[in-house]
Chains A and B, each alone.
Chain A
Amino acid sequence: MIRALRLAAPPVLAFVALNLVWEAATWAFEVPLYLLPPPSRIAAALFEHAGTLLRATAVTCRAAVAGFAFSALLGVAAGVLIASARWIERAVYPFTVFLQTVPLVAIAPLLVVWLGFGTRPVAVAAFIVSVFPVIVNTVTGMRSTDPALLDLFRLYRASSGARLFKLRLPSALPSIFAGLRVAAGLAVIGAVVGEFVASYAGDDAGIGMLALTYSRESHTDRLFAVVGLASSLGLALFGAVSLASHLTLRRWHASEQDR
Chain B
Amino acid sequence: MRTRTLIAMLALAAAAVNTAAQAPAKVRLQLNWLPEPEFGGIYAAKLGGAFARHGLDVEILKGGPDVPAVQMAAAGRVEFAVAAADEVVSLRDKGADVVAIFATYQTSPQGIMVKAAGEAKDIPDLLARGGTLIAQPGLAYLKHLRREFGLEKMKIVPYGSGALAQFLDPARSDVAMQCFVFAEPLAARRQGVEPRVFLVADTGFNPYTAVVVTRGSSFRADPGPARRIAAALREGWREYLDDPGPANREMARLNTAMDLATFAEAAKAQAPLIESEDTRRAGLGTMTEARWKELIGQLAALEVIRAPIPARDCFANP
Contact = CB atoms under 8 A, between A and B. Distances in A.
> So, do A and B actually touch in the complex, CB under 8 Å?
yes
Interface of A: 32-35, 109, 112-113, 117, 196-197, 199-205, 209, 212-220
Secondary structure at chain A's binding surface: helix, strand, loop or mixed? Answer: helix
Contacts of B71: 34, 218
B138 interface: yes
B154 A202 contact: yes
Contacts of B95: 32-35
Contacts of A199: 158
Contacts of B74: 32, 34
Contacts of B94: 32-34, 218-220
Interface in B157-202: 157-158, 160-162, 165
B136 interface: yes
B162 A202 contact: no
Contact of B96 (A32, A109, A200, A212): A32
Contact of B155 (A200, A213, A214): A200
Given A32-B95, A205-B137, A218-B94, A112 B162 contact: yes
Given A34-B96, A212-B138, 8 more contacts: A32-B74, A34-B71, A201-B156, A202-B156, A205-B137, A216-B137, A218-B91, A218-B96
Given A34-B91, A218-B71, A218-B90, A201 B162 contact: no
Contacts of A219: 94
A28 to B, nearest CB: 15
Secondary structure at chain B's binding surface: helix, strand, loop or mixed? Answer: loop
Nearest to A108: B160
A117 B137 CA distance: 14
Nearest to A196: B158
A117 B165 CA distance: 14
30 contacts: A32-B74, A33-B94, A33-B95, A34-B74, A34-B95, A35-B96, A112-B160, A113-B162, A196-B158, A197-B160, A199-B158, A201-B135, A201-B157, A201-B158, A202-B151, A202-B154, A202-B156, A203-B151, A203-B152, A204-B155, A205-B137, A209-B137, A213-B137, A215-B68, A216-B137, A217-B90, A217-B304, A218-B71, A218-B87, A218-B96
A151 B71 CA distance: 67
A112 B94 CA distance: 34
A216 B140 CA distance: 10
B71, B90, B95 interface centre (most CB from chain A within 10 Å): B95
A216 B136 contact: yes
B47 interface: no
A216 B138 contact: yes
Nearest to B146: A202
B17 interface: no
A200 B156 contact: yes
A103 B135 CA distance: 25
A212 B158 CA distance: 10
A113, A202, A212, A219 interface centre (most CB from chain B within 10 Å): A202
A141 to B, nearest CB: 40
B137 A212 contact: yes
A257 B5 CA distance: 83
Given A201-B135, A202-B155, A216-B137, A109 B161 contact: yes
Contacts of A215: 68, 138
Nearest to A221: B94
A173 B304 CA distance: 52
Nearest to B86: A217
Nearest to A31: B95
A196 B138 CA distance: 13
A109 B160 contact: yes
B94, B152, B158, B161 interface centre (most CB from chain A within 10 Å): B158
A213 B138 contact: yes
Nearest to B91: A218
B75 interface: yes
A65 B85 CA distance: 41
A71 B98 CA distance: 47
A209 B96 contact: no
B157 A200 contact: yes
Contacts of A204: 155
Nearest to A217: B138
Nearest to B93: A33
A218 B90 CA distance: 8
Contacts of B304: 217
A48 to B, nearest CB: 10
Contact of A197 (B90, B96, B135, B158): B158
Nearest to B132: A117
Contacts of B152: 203
Interface in B90-131: 90-91, 94-97
Contacts of B165: 113
B135 to A, nearest CB: 7
A214 B87 CA distance: 13
